[in-house]
A and B are shown apart, each in its own frame.
Chain A
Amino acid sequence: MLLLREIRPALSLIILFTMLTGVLLPAGFTAAMQLAMPYQANGSLITRQGQIIGSALIGQNFKSRIYFEPRPSALMGTDAKGNAVATPYDARESGASNLAPTSAALLVSVKQRIAAYLKAYGPGPVPADAVTASGSGLDPDISAANARRQAPAIAAARHLPAANVLALVSHMTHGSLFGIIGTPHVNVLQLNLALDALPAS
């Protein structure tokens, strides 16, 4: 019976806190952020000629010899018949491969990716990020080492001097802060947009 008397305070507090932290706070905060920082609050979207071409924060599935290639993405979806199909960089979802370090399937994929990487960009070291799937499946970045490895082949496909593309990569590289926070990396979408804007010679 003692507990019955506690129903009113407990229920009332829940209602009040739902109004406060579930309605007022999100509504007021969202309105304020939409006013103060609309670019960030709406997903850091990049537009060209009035059309949204992507988010600066979300990777895209570039598959062309004239563009830098993003990391493998492990995202899976279903096709019209309900079969599982790879849907790399489909940002309706997000996630990783979740394959174990002892996974035979993972080892096969890594070996295939290494072979493809060496074929596309010539002999040399294979950066780990180039042949492993990211955590989000939407990783917007590649390591600076990976970008430098790709640069000569992309320069050749675009009939540009390799030095120009390498210079662009250096220019677009985000270093790590104080040498310890983060890793040197390049945003692939922004790099490829800058590449398109590069003068022909």
Chain B
Amino acid sequence: MTIDGLLYIALVFTLVLGAAFPLGHYLAAIFEGRVQFLRKAESAFYRFSGIDPAREMRWQNYAATLILLSFIHFLLLYAILRLQFFLPLNPQHIAGMSPRLAFNTAASFTTNTNWQAYVPEAQISNGAQVFGLTVHMFISAAAGIACAAAVMRAFCAGGLTSLGNFYVDLTRVTFYLLIPVSLIAAILLVAAGVPQSFGPFITAHTINAGLQTIAIGPVALQEAIKEFGTNGGGFFNANSAHPFENPNALTNLFENWLDLVIGFALPIAFGIMLRDKPQGRALMAAMAIILATACIGTYAAEQAGNPLHIAAGVSAHDGNYEGKEVRFGIPASATFNVSATGTSTGAVDSFTDSYTPLGGAIPLFLMQIGEVTPGGVGSGFYTIIIFALLAVFVAGLMVGRTPEYLGKKIQSREIKLAMLGVLVLTLFILGGAGFSLVTKSGLASLANAGPHGLSEMLYAWSSATENNGSAMAGLSADTPLLDYGLGAAMLFGRFAFMIPVLAIAGGLAAKPKLASSAGSFPTTGPLFIGLLIGVIIILGGLQFLPADTLGPLAEHYLLAAGKTF
């Protein structure tokens, strides 16, 4: 590690946390209906769709409309992917996707996962990218943020029957947040060299290497919403390592910022809506402390390099460059990938399969602890609320009082539902990875042997279930087992978690809001932040450390002993 690398990480956090405060104010204003500069377009959308914006939804309606809209959008994307050959904007004449790959991809983009079992340059047309994937990048992100807004409202007052209106939240978030920021970001990206063209691939007559065909497309706009909506689906196979997605170190920093900023702004927005800002800052602090530690950890591991390669004669100070791009360097590559797994983005600017064992274990663990640092847009917020409930429950057990969070009593229904959500995730990650590794098909998908093979499979199921989408990309994911299995994991990971969360929110909304008393456990300050971090790490550790020990940790010690596979 060098001071320069640590300064880079400090710079990223300064820029992100600095922007999260004003953005949090803006988000709260959107959720409370105070942002109206596109009111006419908004009203036109409601009129055309037959939506009464004043209608209030109970949690059941909120969840049902969210799932119904997602389901219809899923079917539309499935149809687009199957039929892309016949749709416009297909200059490379790319064939329709197979049913199982289209299912996997539709599940992936509906759930904000953006797992890519397909090879973009060869298997998806420009038309399917813009009519299908780009739209899902806006809508799945907006749906997640809407769900977070619904959960926030549950804590704002007592005796509430409604969590808001899903259609209105979705529309406002898209109009006032996602579209304007993505447009500005996309313009900046084009200025830096990210293409935006619907033309065919380019043929270059190189001076020394014959003809070179260069894939190109409408990259910039998709790149912007890909990061800002924590989507992560690359226009190209190499994702943000591709020079057309991420041309230089500044765009890399900018994409990293886009990726994190909403996640950190949401708890700030929550504090504003509560009229109790320290509550939001406490959640943000817990997120930031875990993420910063993770960035430093992965950076240290990558900068130390691969001992086998150093022994073979590679410069010892350069760090592990396999799968990384020169223009970014080690600290920025590590920070980007850690940020993209601490959120649900899953974009990569370097390839995790070739990270050192500990460097790769940290992104894996960030996914397994539930993507709360700061997590996907919306999903990170409502997941950390679940952990906050568990933290006050644990504290309540220790002192023998009925736990409260923000004036709402936390009782058996809340804890049961919270654990149900958590266990669904665990079941898919450990059950799915375990099952895959005892099948022939699953074993055949592995690209690397030894403990690293286990890491690849664990990584895939963690990534799909937690709706991340990054991969140890050597894994061959377009197989019947993994297309269907991971597709199901993505859908359950999203919706079987969201429903209990909304059920908890609905129940808490109805409860009276108690004034805090001397006996209330404070949910701001270092004690609570420490407890919350402890609950997140211990719960994740208890569930996943045994499996992770056999993967990345075993590989770490074998690498130190000079063993290869």
User: What is the interface of chain A, defined by CB distance below 8 A to chain B?
Assistant: 2-3, 6-14, 16-18, 20-23, 25-26, 29-30, 33-34, 37, 40-45, 48, 51-64, 67, 71, 89-104, 106-107, 110-111, 114, 118, 125-129, 131-143, 145, 174, 176-177, 179-183, 185, 192-193, 196
A174 to B179, CA, bound (A): 34
> Among B19-27, B236-244, B394-402, B520-528, which stretch is in contact with chain A?
B236-244
Q: Are B131 and A18 in contact (CB under 8 A)?
A: yes
Please tell me if B321 contacts chain A, counting CB pairs below 8 Å: yes
A to B CB contacts below 8 Å, 26 in the list: A8-B50, A13-B170, A17-B138, A26-B134, A29-B196, A40-B191, A40-B195, A43-B216, A44-B193, A53-B207, A64-B208, A90-B213, A92-B214, A96-B473, A97-B322, A97-B354, A100-B353, A102-B357, A102-B563, A107-B312, A107-B564, A128-B305, A132-B323, A141-B325, A176-B329, A177-B250
CB within 8 Å of A: which B309-344 residues: 309, 312-315, 318-329, 331-333
A94 to B33, CA, bound (A): 44
A48 to B208, CA, bound (A): 14
A41 to B214, CA, bound (A): 14
Q: In the complex, how many angstroms separate the beta carbon of B296 from the nearest chain A beta carbon? A: 15
Closest to B11 in A: A180
Q: Are B244 and A58 in contact (CB under 8 A)?
A: yes
Residues in A whose Cβ lies below 8 Å from that of B448? 98-100, 102-103
Q: In the complex, how many angstroms separate the beta carbon of A121 from the nearest chain B beta carbon? A: 13
Q: Are B326 and A71 in contact (CB under 8 A)?
A: yes
Q: Are A13 and B167 in contact (CB under 8 A)?
A: yes
Q: In the complex, how many angstroms separate the beta carbon of A94 from the nearest chain B beta carbon? A: 4
Q: Are B237 and A93 in contact (CB under 8 A)?
A: yes
* CB-based closest 8 A-B pairs: A182-B249, A98-B474, A135-B241, A128-B318, A12-B49, A94-B238, A183-B329, A100-B452
Max count, chain B CB within 10 A of own CB: residue among A26, A29, A34, A63: A26
Contact of B196 among A30, A58, A103 (CB under 8 A): A30
Q: Are B327 and A12 in contact (CB under 8 A)?
A: no
Contact of A7 among B68, B130, B312, B555 (CB under 8 A): B68
Q: Are B214 and A8 in contact (CB under 8 A)?
A: no
A98 to B475, CA, bound (A): 9
Contact of A94 among B121, B194, B558 (CB under 8 A): B121
Q: In the complex, how many angstroms separate the beta carbon of A122 from the nearest chain B beta carbon? A: 14
Chain A binding surface, main DSSP class: mixed
Besides A52-B202, A98-B351, 19 other CB < 8 A contacts?
Answer: A29-B220, A29-B221, A40-B195, A44-B193, A55-B214, A58-B244, A63-B208, A89-B212, A98-B354, A101-B308, A101-B320, A101-B559, A106-B322, A129-B326, A131-B314, A136-B325, A181-B250, A183-B329, A185-B326
Residues in A whose Cβ lies below 8 Å from that of B305? 128
Residues in A whose Cβ lies below 8 Å from that of B61? 2
Size class of B's contact patch? Answer: 35 or more
A125 to B447, CA, bound (A): 31
Q: Are A52 and B203 in contact (CB under 8 A)?
A: yes
Given A40-B195, A134-B241, A135-B325, is A96 in contact with B351 using a C-beta cutoff of 8 Å? Answer: yes
Given A181-B253, A182-B328, is A30 in contact with B198 using a C-beta cutoff of 8 Å? Answer: yes
Q: Are B216 and A143 in contact (CB under 8 A)?
A: no
Closest to A30 in B: B196
Given A101-B306, A101-B355, A110-B314, is A17 in contact with B135 using a C-beta cutoff of 8 Å? Answer: yes
Contact of A10 among B72, B122, B130 (CB under 8 A): B72
A106 to B452, CA, bound (A): 13
A100 to B206, CA, bound (A): 33
Residues in A whose Cβ lies below 8 Å from that of B121? 92-94
Contact of B312 among A103, A114, A136, A138 (CB under 8 A): A114
Contact of B206 among A20, A26, A54, A196 (CB under 8 A): A54
CB within 8 Å of A: which B149-196 residues: 167, 170-171, 174, 179, 183, 186-187, 190-196
Please tell me if B345 contacts chain A, counting CB pairs below 8 Å: no
Q: In the complex, how many angstroms separate the beta carbon of A165 from the nearest chain B beta carbon? A: 17
Max count, chain A CB within 10 A of own CB: residue among B45, B51, B212, B247: B212
Q: In the complex, how many angstroms separate the beta carbon of A137 from the nearest chain B beta carbon? A: 7
Please tell me if B278 contacts chain A, counting CB pairs below 8 Å: no
Q: Are A99 and B322 in contact (CB under 8 A)?
A: yes
Residues in A whose Cβ lies below 8 Å from that of B212? 54, 58, 60, 89-91
Residues in A whose Cβ lies below 8 Å from that of B167? 9-10, 13
Given A58-B243, A135-B324, A180-B11, is A3 in contact with B332 using a C-beta cutoff of 8 Å? Answer: no
Given A29-B186, A43-B202, A89-B212, is A185 in contact with B50 using a C-beta cutoff of 8 Å? Answer: no
Contact of B474 among A55, A59, A99, A102 (CB under 8 A): A99
Contact of A133 among B322, B329, B473 (CB under 8 A): B322
Please tell me if B479 contacts chain A, counting CB pairs below 8 Å: no
Max count, chain B CB within 10 A of own CB: residue among A92, A125, A126, A135: A135
Given A17-B174, A40-B192, A138-B243, is A101 in contact with B357 using a C-beta cutoff of 8 Å? Answer: yes
A29 to B196, CA, bound (A): 8
Q: In the complex, how many angstroms separate the beta carbon of A181 from the nearest chain B beta carbon? A: 5
Q: Are A107 and B351 in contact (CB under 8 A)?
A: no
Closest to B241 in A: A135
Q: In the complex, how many angstroms separate the beta carbon of B562 from the nearest chain A beta carbon? A: 9
Residues in B whose Cβ lies below 8 Å from that of A138? 238, 242-243
Residues in B whose Cβ lies below 8 Å from that of A62? 208-209
Q: Are B564 and A104 in contact (CB under 8 A)?
A: yes
